[in-house]
Amino acid sequence: MKKSKNYVKFQSKFNSVIASAILLISVVNLEASPKKVLIFMSSADTLILDEDREYPTGVFLNEFYIPYKMLKEKGYEFDFATLDGKKATIDPESIKTKYWENENVRLEAIEFTDTNSSFQNPKSIDNLKNSELEYSGIIIPGGQGCPTPDERR
């Protein structure tokens, strides 16, 4: 499969996200720290364009799931949170196979978001007050930025 320039740009950005998440865990994970990570995501599902057009958005699935999977394999536990305590929205664009190197991992990620009770019922920001000592680190996965003018058509 030929990779587009946009894909290469995205893949480079994606690799930086993984490296940043792992670096964050490595830097703050002291011996006495718990092996628990907070994944803080957005529950927004729509961008409003030109004051009247809607564009679907949400968390990019691989920006959340790949770091989660890697750290889960290292024995970390997780809490999930959104600002309002609503389930995080997964950007429909991010489910496309072009963003995944491994189809099995893509399907595993989709199943995880559909069935994991902690992901389905995240904490709200209000429930996190004074709980910072519970976590070795935090992951804040991204999503799409605003679409380009060509994508708006």
Radius of gyration, alpha carbons of the chain? 16
In terms of CATH architecture, what is 5-139? 3-Layer(aba) Sandwich (3.40)
55-86 tens-digit pLDDT: 888 999 999 999 999 999 989 999 999 988 99
DSSP state of 59: B
21-53 tens-digit pLDDT: 544 544 444 444 678 999 999 888 887 877 778
Global pTM reads 0.72
Strands 36-41, 137-139: parallel, antiparallel or unpaired by DSSP? parallel
Strands 123-124, 77-82: parallel, antiparallel or unpaired by DSSP? parallel
113-127 tens-digit pLDDT: 999 999 999 999 888
Q: Is 8 helix (H, G, I), strand (E, B) or coil?
A: helix
Give the DSSP H or E segment for 79: strand 77-82
Question: pLDDT averaged over the chain?
Answer: 77
Q: Is 130 helix (H, G, I), strand (E, B) or coil?
A: coil
Q: Which residue has the tokens 């997964």?
A: 90
Q: Is 47 helix (H, G, I), strand (E, B) or coil?
A: strand
**Domain map of the chain by residue range?**
5-139
The one-letter amino acid code at 54 reads: E
